[in-house]
Structure 1
């Protein structure tokens, strides 16, 4: 596939350890994914911190991709962050140098509108944080729906949650926004906990990353910190949640999925933020999402390692700062 035929995408995110890895996976595959820009949303940490993380990451791999800042918090209520998992900076672990890039002046919604309308092909949105920015986009500019090919998101879970027994973090932070997105009529691929907790990377694989090149070592350091919280939850490894939404675009054959009508609970005392799939023999409504349910973990890890190896080679060819 030539660069001209690569699928145009916008990544909406809240970096975030797994967000960072998802971004790197996309950047390493320019022949298949053309990253038009990155938009940020308050989630794993406050907006200023996670935007700085995105800019530092792009600077680290010398990727001059526009970054637009979005919503600081959910449509209703106050922001709940993921600091327990992601640390004070939102991306604790490696110490990245200050970024040489700055955010664009446009806000996230205006940036997305401009990029979608000016694209020569329908754009795929890849939201891997709370869905506030995407909901605001669809509410304010409903005409752009016809130029959005699909939404490949990380969020939700049919069997269980991780913030509460019922709700996954990204949906829990802004269930009202999630409901708008799931009811938008745009084709959705949902990478929820059903599949992302199977996309596990283990300690020996993290150790292997730290024996490789510059970018792989940095990812290994990210996962060293991120694994601390995973172990608290009882996992042997670390779930690579957000990279699933990108990996599905690159190699959908790695995943098993099923079409369901998915709705988002916004009012339940114990179920707020729950994603509910209609699994009845005769569903009341037509499916609105392909829900990813399983993954070839070994092939998924190979895809990630291959991507990081490409970025390592690129980093090795760049002159050192000041040369």
Structure 2
């Protein structure tokens, strides 16, 4: 039986690939809902991106808008990496779909309470929506199997030397989530920077079907920022949180007690892991540390091939 999941996201180039990866594997993952949160761009833009992506691959899944910004302060966006639209690159057609007439938290509660199985949450943007869900509706915790998130980094950051973007945008929300007691698997920079896609892979995608070509165009734009930072390849951050659910054997992990720094002048947003051999703290997070990159990229390519075949079949029926 497929695992029911809710993807909470801010598309976002790597968010888009994560969504496509999940949708291509319905035998393992049932995407019950997609919720959006202000992050890589403002809420309206990233919600529109999610809807356009779903329309492009003809997947009518409930999409609900959530928090436009963090619990405290103003939204910091990732425009430098993701462009003015939040998903610059390909020119996707306007969506045939619209968001549901519910707030993201309302949709999450509805999905979780009505599910016969426990639901897995997959937050791949700032954790504002998840924190609001857990604080506003604590009864749903018992029906959440686990959280597989993209965020943080116990060795270094990317927005600052200590903080990764998703956590930095709303560290107060992240602290609520990390201290919730729900089992957490963290795909942070320690592993996601190893899950890189290189230019030869991108060129190969653009020689394949319609959806693969579109993803190649996404990555052409996304790789510009990666090169500015001195990376040879582009880190596929968000897909790691989905890939771990599909193929956990591809990853190596360590269990640590992790909390979020909210007060430090130079460490705000840092995911602080207690890595001492002897500690009084109980591990609360499985931190992914390494990945079989080639097998990970194959997982992405296989998923996109499914979407290519589906697109070809739809055109044949038209």
TM range (shorter): over 0.9
Aligned pairs (5 A) from 1:147-166: 147-166=143-162
Q: Which residue of 2 aligns with 1:89?
A: 85
1:292 to 280, 288, 291: 288
Aligned pairs (5 A) from 1:1-150: 5-150=1-146
Cα distance in 2 between the residues matched to 1:242 and 1:318: 28
Cα distance in 2 between the residues matched to 1:197 and 1:319: 37
Cα distance in 2 between the residues matched to 1:271 and 1:13: 24
Cα distance in 1 between the residues matched to 2:173 and 2:279: 24
Q: Which residue of 2 aligns with 1:246?
A: 242
Give TM-score scaled by structure 2 length.
Answer: 0.99
Shift of 1:320: 7.2
Flag structure 2 segments of 5+ consecutive residues without an equivalent: none
RMSD (Å) for aligned C-alpha atoms = 0.8
Q: Which residue of 2 aligns with 1:172?
A: 168
Cα distance in 1 between the residues matched to 2:16 and 2:278: 40
2:260 equivalent to 1:264 = yes
Flag structure 1 segments of 5+ consecutive residues without an equivalent: none
CA deviations 1:304-323 (Å, max 9, x no partner) are: 100000110000000379x4
Shift of 1:156: 0.1
Moved more, 280-289 or 227-236: 280-289
Superposition misfits of 4+ residues, deviation over 3 angstroms: none
Cα distance in 2 between the residues matched to 1:85 and 1:245: 20
Cα distance in 2 between the residues matched to 1:299 and 1:92: 27
The number of equivalent residue pairs is 318
Contact 1:278-1:284 within 8 A present in 2 as well: no
Shift of 1:15: 0.1
